[in-house]
Chain A
Amino acid sequence: MTALAIVQTLNGFQLGVTLFLMAAGLTLVFGIMDMINLAHGSFYMIGAYLTATFVGVFDSFLLAVLFALPLAALVGLLVEMVALRTLYQRDHLDQVLATFGLILFFNELVKIIWGPVPIFMGVPEFLSGRIMFGPDLEYPAYRLAIIVVGFLVAIGLWLMISRTRLGMLIRAGASNREMVTALGVNIKLLYSLVFALGAGLAALAGAMAGPIYSVQVGMGEQILILTFVVIVIGGIGSIRGAMVGAILVGLVDTFGRVLLPGAMFALTGSTAAQGVGSAIASMSIYILMAAVLFFRPRGLFPVKV
């Protein structure tokens, strides 16, 4: 029983850090540029597809990721410069619509380039084993690696934002963009950099998720909606909120799926109740989000105005 709980907790963390990598970029872009970017999921998809392609070329997962990430960040940079830059000052509705258009565009583009059939991507060989924690407690090394990478990136991000000059400018840009511009900072360049960073993080999430879930068109939207749940729960614009929200959503979703159907079956002894349980399980994170917003309309860690 404890072994199961530990394994599921690890699964929750694994989903959580993936969500964090997505949420970090989205929440930064929102906090600094006041921009809702629905197309953020597209970078996740692009990251996964590029990695899958480069794995075929180099036959090495690490090398593939190394090439895929800058390329995806470059795509993000291009999108920012061509389309999104003019949207920062606009209404949220305009941003939702324009980036909804971008989703359609990227999904179709990927379908044209790679075809509609999902691509298979194996777990890299050096991580294909299982790690034994105890007599009957083992966990796939690859998933453990995702957790480790996710936490390292989170620490790196935190150090960057709180300790470096770039991070200082990002924080300054978030709290008063006019003042930062007046002090001679090239705010356009700063925005582009932040956007490219977010796209790169999303691509990293996609690249790591590739071997676990299938690489297919539409994978970006599935995780995008979860990511929005995360940043709304955490408080939009807050990196700390994104981390807490991501882990919370990862754990609630994982345990909901594992425990609820069985619990409902055990309580009532009917398979119909089991079905209800799995329905509630897939709704659980949305219920969590509605509850958080009901009691704290601005999320758990609201950014100070």
Chain B
Amino acid sequence: MRTREKIVLLITLAVLLLLPMVAEATGNSFYIRLAARILILALAAVSLDLILGFGGMVSFGHAAFVGLGGYVVGIMFYHDFNAEPILGLDATQSFLAILAMAAVVSAMFALVIGAICLRTRGISFIMITLAFAQMLYFLMVAARKYGGEDGLALWNRNEMPGGVVDLHDHAVFYFVCLGLLLAFLFIGYRVVHSRFGRVLRGAKDNERRMTALGFPVYRYRLAAFVIAGAAAGVSGALLANYTMFVGPSYLSWTQSGELIVMVVLGGIGTLFGPVFGAAAFVLLEEFIPEILNHVRDGWGEHWQILLGPILLFIVLFARNGLYGALRGQTGGPMLAPDLTGADLTEPDRPKDADVSVEPATDTGRPV
């Protein structure tokens, strides 16, 4: 990691730690809520980047895991509120238990669908992940018991054991989200820089070669898919607590699209980049309408007409994303085989200059 990158990360961390104090001191507690939303979406985006950026798996169904995590909160609330046992057990409202459940449920779902999806490559993978997310979407729309199309409004946030920490307090909730995001970034950093991470990145660049070297690529990918799913489930549980609502909109395919946008906006394959991407996306969503409304009343609701071309522009011209710009990296294709997130000074890193000229025959695409 270069000095400039370290400085950027330290400044960001300082800003995130000080933000609640500053916001409360200046009477802008609204910004704490906004920042908490950024952190929650950042967790989902970072987990997506783990498979998208490092594993080269373009999953178009990541919102499914976020939605599952959210529905764990919602369904637990429903059963607790109606004092109705679920699967023969009493429902719980304990925050920690629910986070664990969200992670486990999402991880199990990821294991099942990953086992099927990872048999395919290229566009088929994009489509089959989308298909599974859609299945879950329609399942929840049909689940009238849990609100069906309208979703469930939660009347309470989950509780911390002993009541020491009150999740209703905006600053407290913010720090819980920050803690979880930092924890996952730490895990992600360790994963990416471990042997496991190298195999994953190697398989993205040249699957055939990794297989020939004797690595069970499928199993490595599946493991990464499950880790990412679990983290996204946790982020969904946080999101449900944050909005105190859960509904099929959590699972909609546009939600998956927006997560991809955050990853790319921040810098794909950079681990920390999606945090900046999530921040940029939420801030754009929040402030473009306001700016437009200043220009002319009523224009604000049409803000997406600007977002569309912005996206197109980013894809066409700014391929390293915000994080790439912040750490002073210019040029080069977005998904270059030079492992954008990797430490370039690592001595034992294999030379892969010849990878880019090999024909991409292993992608399974026709034509």
Q: Does B212 contact A (CB under 8 A)?
A: no
Contact partners of A235 in chain B: CB under 8 A: 366
Choose the segment among A106-114, A128-136, A139-147, A196-204 that binds chain B (4+ C-beta atoms closer than 8 Å). Answer: A106-114
B367 touches A93 (CB 8 A): no
Distance of A235 Cα from B123 Cα, bound (Å): 11
Given A93-B260, A108-B304, CB of A98 within 8 Å of CB of B120: no
Distance of A137 Cα from B264 Cα, bound (Å): 55
CB nearest neighbor in A for B115: A294
Name the distance in Å between B320's Cβ and chain A's nearest Cβ: 13
Given A225-B134, A279-B139, CB of A297 within 8 Å of CB of B367: no
Distance of A181 Cα from B264 Cα, bound (Å): 33
1/0 contact trace for A279-294 toward B, CB 8 Å?
A: 1001100110110011
Contact partners of A92 in chain B: CB under 8 A: 58, 122-123, 126
Distance of A293 Cα from B15 Cα, bound (Å): 47
B312 touches A101 (CB 8 A): yes
Given A290-B132, A293-B119, A293-B120, CB of A104 within 8 Å of CB of B308: yes
Name the distance in Å between B53's Cβ and chain A's nearest Cβ: 10
Contact partners of A107 in chain B: CB under 8 A: 304
A174 touches B367 (CB 8 A): yes
Q: Does A54 contact B (CB under 8 A)?
A: no
Residue of A104, A109, A175, A276 contacting most chain B CB atoms (<10 Å) = A104
Residue of B119, B253, B315, B365 contacting most chain A CB atoms (<10 Å) = B315
Contact partners of B182 in chain A: CB under 8 A: none
1/0 contact trace for B219-261 toward A, CB 8 Å?
A: 0000000000000000000000000000000000110010011
1/0 contact trace for A196-236 toward B, CB 8 Å?
A: 00000000000000000000000001000100110010011
Given A108-B304, A286-B131, A286-B132, CB of A297 within 8 Å of CB of B124: yes
Q: Which of B119-147 contact A (CB under 8 A)?
A: 119-124, 126-128, 130-132, 134-135, 138-139, 141-144
Q: How many residues of B contact A (CB 8 A)?
A: 50
Q: Does A8 contact B (CB under 8 A)?
A: no
Name the distance in Å between A187's Cβ and chain B's nearest Cβ: 14
A175 touches B305 (CB 8 A): no
1/0 contact trace for A62-94 toward B, CB 8 Å?
A: 000000000000000000000100110011111
The dominant DSSP class at the B interface is helix
1/0 contact trace for B15-51 toward A, CB 8 Å?
A: 0000000000000000000000000000000000000
Q: Does B177 contact A (CB under 8 A)?
A: no
Q: Does B214 contact A (CB under 8 A)?
A: no
A101 touches B142 (CB 8 A): no
CB nearest neighbor in A for B311: A101
A100 touches B311 (CB 8 A): yes
Distance of A109 Cα from B309 Cα, bound (Å): 12
Q: Does B60 contact A (CB under 8 A)?
A: yes
1/0 contact trace for B261-280 toward A, CB 8 Å?
A: 10010001000000000000
Contact partners of B130 in chain A: CB under 8 A: 225, 228
Q: Does A303 contact B (CB under 8 A)?
A: yes
Choose the segment among A10-18, A28-36, A150-158, A159-167 that binds chain B (4+ C-beta atoms closer than 8 Å). Answer: A28-36
Distance of A87 Cα from B316 Cα, bound (Å): 8
Name the distance in Å between B302's Cβ and chain A's nearest Cβ: 5
Q: Does B97 contact A (CB under 8 A)?
A: no
A96 touches B142 (CB 8 A): no
